[in-house]
Structure 1
Amino acid sequence: MRRLQASFIHCLVAPLLLATAGLSRADHFVIGVEDVDYAPIMSTADKGEFRGYVRELLDLFARRHGHRFDYLPLPTKRLTAEHVAGRLDAVFPDSETWEADTKRGRTLVYSEPAVPFQDVVMVPLAKRDQPVRSLGIVRGYTPKRFLPLIEAGSLTVTEAGDPSRLMRMALADRVDGVQLALPVALYQLEQLGRPDALVPSTALRPMPYAYHYRLSSVRHDGLIAQFNRFLRDEQAAIAALQRRYGLDAKVTPAPR
C-alpha cells in the first residue's frame, strides 16, 4: 500500500501543473479519501479498496461527466497536508473547520453538503436518559460539540481505531456512550448481531446533531461547481442510493 501511495504522489506532480483556476482540461482526477472504516458511508477495510456510499456517489458523478477518478486513501492529517501541497486534485470528505492550521494561507473551494447524516451518541437502552460521563470516539476525530464538557472535566474521552471497537466498548460498559454517525452505528450493530443493544442518548443536547461531508479542492473550483450541479440535478438517483445504504435513517428527538 505504501508503494502504491508513493507512486501515486510521484506521478501526480506533473499532471497537476496543467490545472487552472477552473476545471482542468483533463478528465482524470485523483481524489484523496480518508483511510478509515466508516461503513456504510465509506471504508477502506477490505484490503485498502475504497468502498461504500461515498464511492458510489463519486463514481456516479464521474460517469455522468465522463471523468475517471482514482482514489488514494490516506490518514486524515496526511490527507490534508498532501492536498494543500497540491498533490491531490480533490479530497472527500472535508469541511471548512477541519485541520484549520494546516489549511491556513491556502484557498480551498468546498462543495455543497454532499453526505448528510445525523451524528449521535449511542448508549445502552437502559441508560438512554442517564448522563454520559465517558465517551468513545474514532481515533483522529475531534468531538467539537462536546469540547466545553471535556474542558470542564465533566466528560472524558477514549479513542478506538474503528467503529466496531467503539461499539464493543459501549456494549462492555467500558464507556458510557460512543459518538458515531447514525448509519454507521446501525450498520455496526447489525454486523455484531445486536441491532437493538444501543440507542441514541437523549441526555445530551442537541440530540441528534445534523452533519454533512463535502468535496473540496485547492486547484479545481470548476470540478466543485460541476459536482454541485450534479447534486442538484441528480436528486432522485442520490436519494435512491442513500436509501440503499441506510443513509436516510433519522432520529426524532423526544419533546423537551
Structure 2
Amino acid sequence: MLGLFVSTSFSKTYVVGVENINYYPNYTTINGKYAASAGKEILDAFAKDAGITFKYKPYPVARLFTTFLKKKSKLDFKFPDHEYWKGPDKKSFCKKLGYQPSESAVGSAGEPGTGINQKCIKFSQYAFQYIDGVMVKKENLGKGQGALKKLGTIRGFTAWDYIGGIKSGKIKIKEANDFQGLLKQISKNRIDGGYMSISGGRHGASQIGLAGKLVYDPALPATKSGYKLSSHKHKDIIEKFYKFLVEKKDMLDEIRKKYKVYNIYKK
C-alpha cells in the first residue's frame, strides 16, 4: 500500500500599518502598495528570518496613529514609529489600559524622558537612522536660522526643531505633497528652505537635476534619530526584531548602504 503524505506549513500573518506617502528611500507607498525601500526590505528580511509574513496596510499619517492606538486595533505593528511621536496620545492610550506613564522612562534606544511605558507599547531599536533637517540653495548655505522666513514641510509632518519660530509667527510654513515639490519650491525661491528627511531630499534632488544645487545645511537645527517598529499586541516579536537587528547587522548594513541610509550621522 502506497501512503501519500502531504506536508503543509503555514506562517502566521501580521498586519503592519505604514504611512501612505512617498518617503523614498526610507519608505514609500505607490498606488496604494508598500513599495521597495529601506524600511520594507529590512522588515521583509526579518519576517523571512522569523518565519512569519508581514502584510502592509497604508494609511494617511494622522489616521495611522489613531488606527494603531486602539485596544482592538486591526493593526499588529506600526512602522515607522518612535516614542516621541504623538507622545501625549500614546501616554493617554496606555493609561486607559492601566499603564501609568513615567517621565523618567527611557526609549528603546536610550532616549530620555519619553514617558511611554514599554510594557504597554513596545518599541524596537532603530531599523536605520535618519536626519530631519533643512535643505537650502547652495548659495544660501550657512546663513543661519534668521534667514528662514518661509520654511517648507511635507504635508502631514511638523518641523519640531522650528516650532517656537512657527508659533511666534517669525517663520511661515508652506506645505508640499512630496520631496520633489518641496525641492522645486526652494529652487524657485518660493521658500527659504525645506524641512525634510535629508536622505529623501538628496534622492529627490538627484531625480530632478538639482543634486549639488540644493544641499543640507548642518548648521541649522535638525533632528537626528531613527525609525522603529512598535506594537502593543506582540511585544515578543518586537524582542525578536531587536535580536535580529543585532545578529544580522552586517547583512542589514548592506541594505542600508543600498538605500543610502547607512550611518548617516555619528552618535
TM-score, L = length of structure 2 = 0.79
State the number of aligned residues.
225
Q: CA deviation at 1:250?
A: 3.8
Assess if the C-alpha contact under 8 Å between 1:31 and 1:71 holds in 2: yes
Assess if the C-alpha contact under 8 Å between 2:129 and 2:265 holds in 1: no
Provide the rounded CA distance (Å) in 1 between the counterparts of 2:11 and 2:48: 15
Task: Give the corresponding residue for 1:88.
Answer: 75
Letter of the 1:71 counterpart: Y
1:193 partner SS = coil
Q: CA deviation at 1:223?
A: 1.0
Q: Indicate whether 1:37 and 2:19 are aligned.
A: no
Assess if the C-alpha contact under 8 Å between 1:183 and 1:246 holds in 2: yes
Partner deviation per Cα, 1:25-84 (whole Å, 9 max, x = no partner): 972101000001001111112x22212111100000001011111000001121111112
Q: 1:91 to 1:197 in 2, by over 3 A?
A: same
Provide the rounded CA distance (Å) in 2 between the counterparts of 1:60 and 1:27: 15
Letter of the 1:89 counterpart: D
- Where does 1:76-155 land on structure 2 (aligned, <5 Å)? 76-85=61-70, 86-103=73-90, 104-106=92-94, 107-130=120-143, 131-155=147-171
1:126 partner SS = helix
Provide the rounded CA distance (Å) in 1 between the counterparts of 2:161 and 2:47: 34
Letter of the 2:205 counterpart: L
User: Which consecutive unaligned segments of at least 5 residues does structure 1 have?
Assistant: 1-24
Q: CA deviation at 1:99?
A: 2.4
Q: CA deviation at 1:251?
A: 6.9
- Where does 1:9-20 land on structure 2 (aligned, <5 Å)? none
Task: Give the corresponding residue for 1:210.
Answer: 224
Provide the rounded CA distance (Å) in 1 between the counterparts of 2:176 and 2:255: 29
Q: 1:228 to 1:146 in 2, by over 3 A?
A: same
Provide the rounded CA distance (Å) in 1 between the counterparts of 2:265 and 2:244: 28
Assess if the C-alpha contact under 8 Å between 2:224 and 2:265 holds in 1: no
TM-score, L = length of structure 1 = 0.83
* Higher mean C-alpha displacement, 78-87 vs 236-245: 78-87
Provide the rounded CA distance (Å) in 2 between the counterparts of 1:235 and 1:56: 14
Assess if the C-alpha contact under 8 Å between 2:20 and 2:28 holds in 1: yes
Task: Give the corresponding residue for 1:15.
Answer: none
Q: Indicate whether 1:195 and 2:211 are aligned.
A: yes
Larger Rg: 2
Assess if the C-alpha contact under 8 Å between 1:137 and 1:178 holds in 2: yes
Provide the rounded CA distance (Å) in 2 between the counterparts of 1:235 and 1:151: 41
2:262 partner SS = coil
2:93 partner SS = coil
Provide the rounded CA distance (Å) in 2 between the counterparts of 1:212 and 1:239: 14
- Where does 1:170-189 land on structure 2 (aligned, <5 Å)? 170-189=186-205
Assess if the C-alpha contact under 8 Å between 1:33 and 1:79 holds in 2: yes
Task: Give the corresponding residue for 1:223.
Answer: 237
